[in-house]
Structures are given as C-alpha cells and as structure tokens.
Homo-oligomer: A and B are copies of this chain.
Amino acid sequence: MVRPTTPLLSRERIRDAALQLIDDQGLAQFSMRGLARALGVQAPSLYSHYANRDEVLDAVANLLTRQVDTSGFVDGRWRRGVETWARSYRASLAAHPNAVPLVASGAGRREDFLAMSERVHAGLLSAGWPARYATEIAGSVKYLVVGAASTPFASGFADDATVYLERYPALAQAHRLPELAEEIDAESFELGLACLLDGLAARYVDLVGDLNRERA
C-alpha cells in the first residue's frame, strides 16, 4: 500500500504515540524510527506531518501544558489562582516524568506555554499586583513547579538506600524509607508553595493594601 484512501497518520496520532513511547521507554530511547515502528509505518512518513523530531517533541510538551488549570483567578483571589495553577501544572508534569525535560527547556517558544503564562499574568494583574511583580511571581512559581517535576526526591536516590546510611548520616535519617519518597516530594512542594505564598501575601498587604483592614 502506497497511499491509503484514509490517511494512516495524523499529527495527533503521532504526538500521542510519541508520548506513550516516552512514558514507556524514556526520553533517551525515543527515536523517529521507533515512533514510526510503533505506528506501523516507515520513518519518512512522519515527515509529512512534522518538520522534524523537535517539532514532534514540542507537540508532546504542548500537550502537557495545554490543560493546566488557570481558572482560579476570580474576584481578585490571586492566592487561590496561583495554588490551583501550580498544583495542576505540577500534576500534569508528574503524570509524565520522562517527558518533563521537554517542558523544562525551550518553553518560551511554545504556543501553549505562552498562552498559559498570559492567563496567569493577567490573573495576577487583575488582583492588583503590579506588572513587574506579576511577572516575577509567575516566574518563581514556575521555577518551583518545574524544579519539583525535574528532580523529584523519589527519583533522586538509588534503590538501595542502605548505601547512604554510613556515608551520609544526616541525609540517611531523612529518606530511611524509600516508600516515603513520593510523600516527601509532595510535601516539599506544598511546603515551598505555602511558604512562598505566605511571603507574597505579606508583600501584597504592603503594596496593594490590607483587604482585611478595608473590610473592617
């Protein structure tokens, strides 16, 4: 069969198969030839739908950021908005740990990342934050999310934890139980997010005014 009546491939099918392969085998194993094989097709066929490998990977990265929830910025509730955004962003990345490096680098040229940033920025502006602060808040929260997804504690240590016990006594106390790794990841992220937001809330009062005081 050279040209089927109904196309074998589509951009969506290729992108979804790519994410599946990355989830299953890791980013390092991903290849255009392997992707073609998984789709029952020859490698050059992919180039009818994507210009090159990087565009396929960009499509995967876009998929992960597309559905991040930025709907929490209502009625000036910036803290709620940031929390919702940060948690859903992290969850989206944590669901595909092998694909995180795709999202972590070169995000700025990707359409869906820019759209997400725009919504967050607008939400912060509408809550009264000055533009420069809005940029920096969005930035620092993004740092926390991407960092948490990139270097989870869970993947951070070798499987045999005993190796650390003698060499790194202080460290060993902390991750004595590898089963706790995911829990520690989640708590580290939540602690960082809560502290960051506490610090921002204090600055908000100085900059924009104490809403509680106004209500009183």
Q: Give how many A residues have a beta carbon under 8 Å from the other chain's beta carbons.
A: 64
* B188 pairs with A140, CB closer than 8 A: yes
Interface residue A125 (Cβ < 8 Å from any Cβ of B): yes
Tell me, in angstroms, the Cα distance from A114 to B191 when the chains sit together.
22
A:126-165 near B, CB below 8 Å: 131-137, 139-148, 150-151, 153, 155-158, 164
Indicate whether A104 sits within 8 Å of B151 (C-beta atoms), given known contacts A131-B174, A173-B131: yes
* B200 pairs with A195, CB closer than 8 A: yes
Interface residue A121 (Cβ < 8 Å from any Cβ of B): yes
- Which single member of B118, B151, B194, B196 contacts A170 (CB below 8 Å)? B118
* B156 pairs with A107, CB closer than 8 A: yes
A121 to chain B: closest residue by CB = B170
- Which single member of B132, B136, B196 contacts A196 (CB below 8 Å)? B196
- Which single member of B155, B169, B187 contacts A108 (CB below 8 Å)? B155
List 11 interface pairs A-B (beta carbons < 8 Å), by A numbering: A104-B150, A114-B164, A118-B169, A132-B174, A136-B184, A136-B191, A143-B145, A147-B148, A195-B203, A198-B202, A199-B199
